[in-house]
Amino acid sequence: MTKGRKKGDQTHMGKVAIYPGSFDPLTYGHIDIVERALAIFDKVILAIAHDAEKKPLFTVQERVEMAKLIFKDTPGVVVDSFKGLLVNYVEKSNAKVILRGLRATSDFEYEYHMASMNRSLNVHLDTLFMMTSKDYFFVSSRTIKEVAKLGGTVEGLVPDLVARRLKEKFKLPVGERRLIGWDD
């Protein structure tokens, strides 16, 4: 802790962290990062980005709704959405830390560039990188969508609510389970 700061002081780094992302969809890898971050921060804001470039499967409203249901019994988690520059959202939230999950070393280069840009836009901002647990390092929202679209199971990789919503989006019968490549 920096000299002169007290743990309860609003400027204490551990107070609020923003965990931004598209979360399209939310996976157990994301949830793992949030839960572990709560051991460090008093509050974690899951900030769902409006990002038209990614052409999301779920609308922002759908993603916010699912995340609120998933974290409804988790004290210290706030679910919100934002448009525009992340640094502006962070500033409005009175946070000093951006939280980012890393799955592999390939994630680091991109995340490092983003953290550097955010820091250049606001010198009072820090980015904390957390490694995803070994059980989820291979899980990405993109892969989850691809597997679900082809009728594969995403059980154990996403909450049941997300798995059901994926089946609805891809018009798959609830409970249908296929192994990709076995029934082609």
Whether residue 116 lies in the annotated active site: no
Whether residue 141 lies in the annotated active site: yes
pLDDT given for residue 110 in this prediction: 83
Range of the domain at 99: 16-137
Q: What percent of the chain has pLDDT over 90?
A: 66
Does some domain include residue 96?
yes
Does some domain include residue 104?
yes
pLDDT given for residue 94 in this prediction: 86
Q: Among the options 12, 43, 68, 103, which is catalytic?
A: 103
**H or E stretch at 141:** helix 141-149
Does some domain include residue 152?
no
Output the domain CATH number for residue 63. 3.40.50.620
Does some domain include residue 83?
yes
* Rounded CA separation 68/77 (Å): 9
Does some domain include residue 180?
no
Whether residue 93 lies in the annotated active site: no
- What does residue 81 show for φ and ψ, rounded to 5 degrees? -130, 160
Does some domain include residue 143?
no
Q: How confident is the model over 75-110, as pLDDT tens digits?
A: 999 999 999 999 999 999 989 899 999 987 777 888
The model's pTM is 0.83
Find the radius of gyration of the CA atoms of the chain: 18
Domain count, the chain: 1
Does some domain include residue 94?
yes
Does some domain include residue 163?
no
CA-nearest of 67, 7, 13, 11 to 41 is 13
Q: Among the options 96, 100, 141, 145, which is catalytic?
A: 141
Whether residue 103 lies in the annotated active site: yes
* Rounded CA separation 144/26 (Å): 10
Q: How confident is the model over 31-90, as pLDDT tens digits?
A: 999 999 999 999 999 999 997 677 899 999 999 999 999 999 999 999 999 999 999 999
